[in-house]
Structure formats: structure tokens, C-alpha cells
Structure 1
């Protein structure tokens, strides 16, 4: 089951979660981070690290509210870390607040811790195990079973206090009741609900952050409430379990006789890893070890806002308030005489394929790592070395593009190719008209080296009025014909506004040769028109002359023919006016 999930839209290729995850239980597919449930130990560090809040804890709160709304008997197992996390005047006020929310009964998980302490005391007295690692922390248990399986032989075969308490309540109070664990840890959710060895004893898990939201929703303020008693016998020193060395304090107070085991505690995932690696080298023996993934113990649990909690203050306050007195009343333990608190641990290590050296080399070469010197081992991708990342790529956990130096070099190379090969002048200026990019074509036309140009302002090279207008209006301009006097050329000028830079990109295309060709073509056209006009004028003059000559000849012909007609028709008549046809 998923305990941590993520929002795809918010994952932005920063790989911070991968860098933060000490066990590399995060895979990146299609540029989206995903939790590998079979490898995750639920330390919660990725939740804190994600700058986009893309990862979130899957809550049981609605399920718990449903139990109460349906009227089902719902018993809460309250982790002792409440003593250092919640704001109250007396512990009894916390009990009252939980009863007001609708819980049927409020019992301390420390009651279950007392039985766990008794089991540890038996193991110490028997002295059969070379080393004993406490198994209260489910994240520590996962870390050993998945990543250091050779050490499972040293894991105390005992339930965690939460599971022990769930067994106790179900067997001695009400087997049909809903049991809810309230604590500071997200790993408890998987232990309670999806581990076949421990499921069935706790029905739901909620954390103190969820509780505070719920109390706010119901307008319940803890420190204004009257006291109510817990429903369990006093677990005494076992309330110290959530602080560093708390388990040791409980064990030492409960021991019936001295034993030869050296006792120490280790808290924090890096410290746990360092210890377990040392134990794999057989450097630790004869020790009883309290182990916790969270630095400072459960009071700095993975489901808490750790910045608001001082583990040093809480440790001092709890050690001062809780006497180191063991619970030794026979009646306390008698009720669980038929309950087994044992648990088996085993190898759960993943069997990932391991690439050969040749396969690793081939993967490295794909991202420009040709020689060992090319392997920067910068860790930007989240992996400690380039080879470790190449192995992750082979196993399908990582992508080639996660190599930030390679992608930067590739992007820079592509940008340089564009800048250097385009025949157009490319000039980028910021909002103050300071030149921030100047390509090779611009160097050629303006006869200025790029290094010098980057120390100049745009108005020192050309009229920057259009550029400033684009900055002010944030509206790009395309295809404006401009003459640059200094280079003596005509350009087609396009100015693009760049929002992120709050600057402009000027693209100047030299069209001088086209302009010259156009001018030559225009002159030829005008010369042709002029010649055509002269021909037309000359033709008109000749036409007029021809017309004139034709006009005179026609008139003479008309007169002659008329006289001939008259002579033929009117023989003896002297004048045309005496012709009867003309009257």
C-alpha cells in the first residue's frame, strides 16, 4: 500500500527528494519522482525536502471519523510522545480532548511498551544473542530487512509497543473494537495495515498534526479542558520510550539482574546506516542497541513539524517529569499471560539486476562520461557517484537526463550552435539596455568583440528607441525595416520581449543586398518606362504626321473627283452651285 504519494503536476525535476533519500527508494520516470514501496523505509525525509510539496502522507483521519460517526466503539492508543508535542497543562486535559472528539476510551501506548520492555529483559537475561537491536522503530526494521539483511539475526524478535498494545486491547478489552494509534510516525501506518506479520491489531493510524487540525475544526482547545483519567494502569518508566535512550532507561529500570551486554543508543538514519555497516564488518559485539531512524527519537517523528520541537528540551522535561521506576506489579502483566509478543524478522532485500562494467561504461558514455575524469560525482542527480547513477539507470530507477552537468552542457552547446551559425545578428539586452548576449554575426557586422560588447549598452551601438518601446509595452515587434548608419546596412528588425529576463531579444537580418537588387531592378524598370515613353511619343508624332498627310491627299482627291462627277453629270454647267442636286 502507498503511505506517501505525490502530485505529478508539481514535481519539477529538482531531484531534491532523491538527494535526500539515504536508501535511494525514489525512482524517476518521465521526469516524475515516484516512491518505490518495496524499498522505502518511510523515514519521511522526502516529505520535508520537497520544495513544491509534491509528496504527501495518505491520511486515515476520515476513516477514524467514520468509525466514530457510525457509533462503533473506538479506542485510541496514545503514543507517549504526546508529552513533548501537544500543548496542555496536565496530561488529563489531553484525555478529555480525545473523549470530546468521540473516542470511547483513551489508553497509553506505553502500556504496550511495558510488555516489550519485559521481553527485552528476558533476552538480556538469556544472553543467547550476540547483539540485540531493539525493534520498536518500524523504519529501523525496514532498513535492516531490506538493506542489511545479514543483521536480521540481531533484531530482537519482539513486537513494537504499538502492536503489543493493539494485541493487549483486542484480547483483554474488546476484540471487535476499532483501535486507532495516535502518534508522531508515518511508518506506523504500514506496520499496522500492510505487514502480514502485524496487521489486524491496529485499524487506523493518525498523527499529532492531523489531531491538531481536527481539534481546531471542532473548536476544542486542550489547555482549557478539565482532567480525565487514562483507562490503563500506570506504565511508569515506559513513558520514556519516545526520547533518545528512553528504551534503555526502561530496560535498565526493569532488569532483575545485571548482564554482560554493553548498552548504547543510535538515532538518525545516517548514524544507523554507519552502525549497521560497522556491524556487517563484525566490528560490534556483545551489545544491546536502542535504534531509531529519527534524530532525537520519536518526539522528532516523521509526521511532525520538527522545526517547532526542541528534542533537547523535551528530553530534559520528560526525564524530569517521569521517574525511572519500573512497573513490576504482577497484576499488570498477568492479564497478558496468554498473549505472544514475539515477531519474526527476515531478509526482504530487493534482487535488482547488477550491470557489468561494460554496461556501466556504455551508460556513462551516453551522457558524455568517456573517461574517468569526466565522472564529476557531483551528486546533483541525487546519487553519490556517476557510476551509482548509471547502475540506477540500468535498473530503471533513474533517467539519463538526470545528469544536470551533462544537460547543461548539452543545452549550452545547442545554444552556442544556434548563436554561432545563424547569419542574423542576435543581441539580447536587459531592462536597462545592458547587452547580455552578442553573437558572432553581430561581432562581424559591428566590428566589436563579444567580450567588449557585453560591457556596453545597446544605445552605444544603435538607436535603441524601438527596443525600449518593446520593454515598456511588453509587446514584440516583427519585420521592421531599419537602416543602421554605422555598419551602413539595412536590416529587417524583429524585437521579442523576454518575460523571465524582463529584457529583449533583437534579431537583425541584413537585407542590404536585397535592397541593392531591388534598387537596380527599380532603375531598370524606370529606364524601360522612359524608353517606352519616348517610343510612344515618337510613334504618336509619326502617326500625327501620317494623319496630316492623309488628310490633305483626301481633300484634294475629293475636290478632283467631285469636279469629274460634275463634268460628267452636268455637262455645260459652269458652277457647282447651279447643280440641281446641290440645291
Structure 2
């Protein structure tokens, strides 16, 4: 099941999510990042750090709206984090707003937390586990099951407050009720909808941000709602679950405090990893540990706009407003035999491990053959070059994710082009200072690259075309420019780069072609002149011929006339007057 989605059009060659994923559960294929569901613990860090908002949370909101439209009996399990995250005058206004949306009832998840506290209390009283790690946080549970499978024996075999509450609601409202969890956590979606041990208890999961957008869409103002209590008995101290040390506060407030377990809390994924590493080394014994992946607890969950709240202020406010009084069996717990147990097992994926030879072959492909080549810069998202090579072997990473290698390769290709192209290439910045100068430019302008890159373009050629392109941002394509003083004719293409705010000029030497064109033009002119002379001569001859023809025609006419008259007069000559 996918909980986090990616917008491929926006995700390209960034790797920020890989760098910030502490368990490296993101694979990169064709420069696009993808979540590896079997390795992801849904901490939500990739959602938070993505600079392009390319990662999105797959929402259940439309499903919930569908339940209400179709008339299902739908109950909200409201995570106690609402007390510190949402804005209101009284907490009951939030309950009223949810009821106005159409929900059948609103109950606080802290009700389920009270049952979980009782289970923890029983485990502490039994004293059979060497260490007890709380299992309220699905992301922490995933971290242990996937990456520290040998430590699953320390996970308290108890469901989360959300699952416990879902069971209670179904017991009270019947099997056909729709249960919607509303909270700050994204890992609850996987726990509710794809964990075979808990699937079917919670029908949908939405977060506080989605609720606020929904209320805005429906025109419901929380501040204008009446103060309505939730439909559950008062869970008292168990409302502190979402803040750091909240679980410990609930356990300590219970009756079984005279136990041999040392108690402490650990929040934040790096701190949790440090704890688990320490436990792997056998350094932690006899402890009851509240563990949460999010820094500050659930009030800083990934589905919360963290810029709007201070976890320190929320913690202080909730601790001051929520009494740390324990609840009693008689006035709170139901008598129904609901089971709240959940057992955890290792499910670490089996990735192939490359041999030393295979690692070195992969490193060699990106120019890393010596110890000094191993920069271990971490730009690709992996701590060391060897870690990156392992990821490439396992199909999680790509060779070209190595930024230094790609930079050197790009520079090498750029230098190859500059050194080998027969065309003149000149790049200038907005001040017309030369940034690049090809080998052909050195030859034609008789200026070394090192010298040229300290000069401005206008110091040795007319820069007006470059300046025009810079100011108008309109490219010049195929313009003929001749430098008479250098006996050089060029065909120029000059383009503007918006990203770099620079101008690139490519000059093709057409001097030889210009000479051929000049000679061809001279031949054409000479041919035309010769043709004109022939025409003039022909005209003269024609005129002479015409004159001769005219005289001959006149003589012939006289002779023929005389011949005709002679015949007509029987050979007598004309009378002569």
C-alpha cells in the first residue's frame, strides 16, 4: 500500500529525500525517487524536506466524505494532539465542528490510550521482560521490525491507542460502524489499512490539515461552534500521550509504580536509532522506554504544519491544563473481554550483498580507484562511497548520483568540446566579461584562453550583437559578420541563457566560402560583360545586314518591274518621255 506519492514531473536529480532518509528507504530510477514500501517506516521526513513538493500524502478524505453521504454510522477517533495543534476557544468547539460535518459521534483516542496504559502497567507489574519499549508509534515499531529484528522481543506486545480505541468503538457501536481516525500521523494509515494484524479495525485515517481544509470548504468556523463534550468518559492523564514523556506520565500516575524498571523517553529518529544500537550491544537493561520517531512526540507529526506551532509551548500548555490524575477501574473501563495484544516479529528484507571485487568494479565506473578518490561527501544521500556502491549493486541507486563524478565528467565533456570544435565559442557574462574561450577562438583571435578570460569582449571585437542579445533576450541565428582587420568572415549564432544570465556565441569560419563566393561573383560579372559585348556586336552586324538587305531589295524591285513591263508590252520597251 502506498501512503506517500510522488509527482514525477517535479522530482529530478535532487536526492534531498535520499540524504534525509535515515533508513535509506528511497530508490532512484531514471533520476526519479520512489519509496520502497518494504523498507519505509513512514517517518515523513521526505515529505518535509522535498523542495519541489514532489511528494504528497495519499488521502482518505474522499472516502470519509463518501461514508457520510451514504449515511453510514461514522465515529471519529480524535487523537489528543488536537488539544495542542488546532485553534479554538474551548476544546468542545472542535467536537461541535466535527459533528456539524455529519459524524455520528466524536470520541477521544485518549480513551484507547487509557486501556493501553493499563496493559503497560500489567507488563511492568509482571516484570518478565528485560526491557519494555512502548508500541504506540507505528514508525518506531517498523524501525525495530525491519532494521533491528533481534530487538522485537523488547517491543511491548500491545496495540497502539488508535487500534485499542477502534476495538472499543466497534464493541459499543456494532461491527457495521465506520471508524475514522483523525490525527497528526501518516504511519497510522499503514497500521490501519495494510497491517494484517490490525487491518479492518480502522476504516480511514485523515489528518488535521485535511480537517481544516474541509471545514473551510464547508464554511464551518470552529470559533463559532458551541462547547460540546466528547462521547467518552474523561481519560484524564492519558490525554498527555502525544507529548514527549506523555506515556511515562500516564504509567507513573497509575497504581503500579513500585517496580524495578528504570524509565526514560526517547524521541526523534536519530535518537531512536542510537538507542536501538545501544540495546543491540547489550548496554540497556531493566528499562521501560517511551519511544517516538517524531521529535517532541505526536504534536510534531509529519501531517502537521510545524511552522505554526511550538512543541515546547504545546508541551507546557498541555501539561498545565491536563491533570495527571489516574483513572479507576469502576468509573472508566468496560467489562467486555476485548483483547489488546499484538505481537511483533522481524521482517528485515534480504538485500543481496556485493563482494569486495564487485564493490571496487562499481566504484571504478565512477572514477574511484584510489583511497583519495573516495570523497565520502554524502551528496548522493549515502554516507560513504562504499555505501553508495552497495546501493547501486542492490538497485537502490544509480551511478550518476555521484555529484563530484558527474561534475568532473561535465567539465571534461565541456573542455573536450571547447578544445576540439573547429568553431569559435565565446561565453560572456552580463558585464561582457569572457567566461569561456575555445581553442579555435585562441587561434583566430591570437589570444590565449587564460588571457582572454581576464578580458572583456569589447576589448578585442565588436560586442554590439552580444549586448543586443543580452538586453532583448532574443537570439541571433546565422548572422554574417566580417572582421576585416583579421581577414575573417563568420556566420554567427548568439543565444541568451536565462538560467546563467550569460550569452553564448558560436562563430563558424566562412572565410574560405566567402573567397569562393567572391571568385564566383567575379566570374559572373566577367561573363555578363562578355555577353554584353557579344550582344552589342551582334546588334551591329544585324544592323549592317539590314542595310545591305535594304539596298539589294530596292535593286531587285526595279529589275523585276522592268521585266514585268517588258512581258506585258510584247517585248516593246516603255516609251521614254
Please, what TM-score do these two structures have when normalized by structure 1? Answer: 0.89
Residue 190 of structure 2 corresponds to 190
Residue 8 of structure 2 corresponds to 8
Residue 28 of structure 2 corresponds to 28
Deviation at 1:296, TM superposition (A): 0.1
Q: Distance in 1 between matches of 2:490 and 2:447?
A: 18
Greater Cα offset, 231-240 or 482-491: 482-491
Q: Deviations over 1:383-420 (max 9, x none)?
A: 11111111111111111121121112112211111111
Q: Distance in 1 between matches of 2:543 and 2:110?
A: 128
Please say which structure displays the higher CA radius of gyration. Answer: 1
Q: Distance in 1 between matches of 2:539 and 2:98?
A: 115
Residue 335 of structure 2 corresponds to 335
1:511/1:128 CA distance change after superposition, 3 Å:
same
Deviation at 1:304, TM superposition (A): 0.5
Deviation at 1:76, TM superposition (A): 0.8
Q: What SS does the corresponding residue of 2:332 show, helix, strand or coil?
A: helix
Q: What SS does the corresponding residue of 1:333 show, helix, strand or coil?
A: coil
Q: Distance in 2 between matches of 1:518 and 1:163?
A: 87
Q: Distance in 2 between matches of 1:424 and 1:388?
A: 43
Residue 178 of structure 2 corresponds to 178
Deviation at 1:522, TM superposition (A): 6.1
1:372 and 2:367 matched = no
Q: Deviations over 1:26-61 (max 9, x none)?
A: 111122111111111111111111111111111111
Matches for 1:214-363 after TM superposition, within 5 Å: 214-336=214-336, 338-363=337-362
Q: Deviations over 1:313-361 (max 9, x none)?
A: 111111111111111233422424x111111100110011111111111
Q: Deviations over 1:487-537 (max 9, x none)?
A: 332223332333333443222223334444555666677789989999999
1:180/1:518 CA distance change after superposition, 3 Å:
closer
Matches for 1:43-58 after TM superposition, within 5 Å: 43-58=43-58
Deviation at 1:364, TM superposition (A): 1.1
Residue 410 of structure 2 corresponds to 411
1:165 and 2:165 matched = yes
Residue 487 of structure 1 corresponds to 486
Residue 462 of structure 1 corresponds to 461
Residues 169 and 175 of structure 1 are in contact (CA less than 8 Å); yes or no, is this contact kept in structure 2? no
Residue 560 of structure 2 corresponds to none
Residue 385 of structure 1 corresponds to 384
Deviation at 1:375, TM superposition (A): 1.6
Residue 434 of structure 2 corresponds to 435
Greater Cα offset, 491-500 or 238-247: 491-500
1:510 and 2:509 matched = yes
Q: Distance in 2 between matches of 1:523 and 1:10?
A: 59
Residue 556 of structure 2 corresponds to none
Please, what TM-score do these two structures have when normalized by structure 2? Answer: 0.90
Q: Deviations over 1:446-480 (max 9, x none)?
A: 22222332232222211222333333443333333
Residues 172 and 335 of structure 1 are in contact (CA less than 8 Å); yes or no, is this contact kept in structure 2? no
1:530/1:299 CA distance change after superposition, 3 Å:
closer
Q: What SS does the corresponding residue of 1:346 show, helix, strand or coil?
A: coil
Structure 2 regions of 5+ residues with no counterpart? 545-551, 553-571
Q: What SS does the corresponding residue of 1:10 show, helix, strand or coil?
A: coil
Q: Distance in 2 between matches of 1:412 and 1:367?
A: 14
Q: Distance in 2 between matches of 1:522 and 1:167?
A: 96
Greater Cα offset, 147-156 or 362-371: 362-371
Supply the RMSD in Å over aligned alpha carbons.
Answer: 3.1
Matches for 1:114-153 after TM superposition, within 5 Å: 114-153=114-153
Residue 83 of structure 2 corresponds to 83
1:293/1:527 CA distance change after superposition, 3 Å:
same
1:513/1:247 CA distance change after superposition, 3 Å:
same
Deviation at 1:482, TM superposition (A): 2.5
1:86/1:541 CA distance change after superposition, 3 Å:
closer
1:199 and 2:202 matched = no
Q: What SS does the corresponding residue of 2:333 show, helix, strand or coil?
A: helix
Deviation at 1:542, TM superposition (A): 13
1:423/1:581 CA distance change after superposition, 3 Å:
farther
Residues 95 and 228 of structure 1 are in contact (CA less than 8 Å); yes or no, is this contact kept in structure 2? yes
1:459/1:144 CA distance change after superposition, 3 Å:
same
Deviation at 1:202, TM superposition (A): 0.9
Q: What SS does the corresponding residue of 2:328 show, helix, strand or coil?
A: coil
Deviation at 1:369, TM superposition (A): 1.3
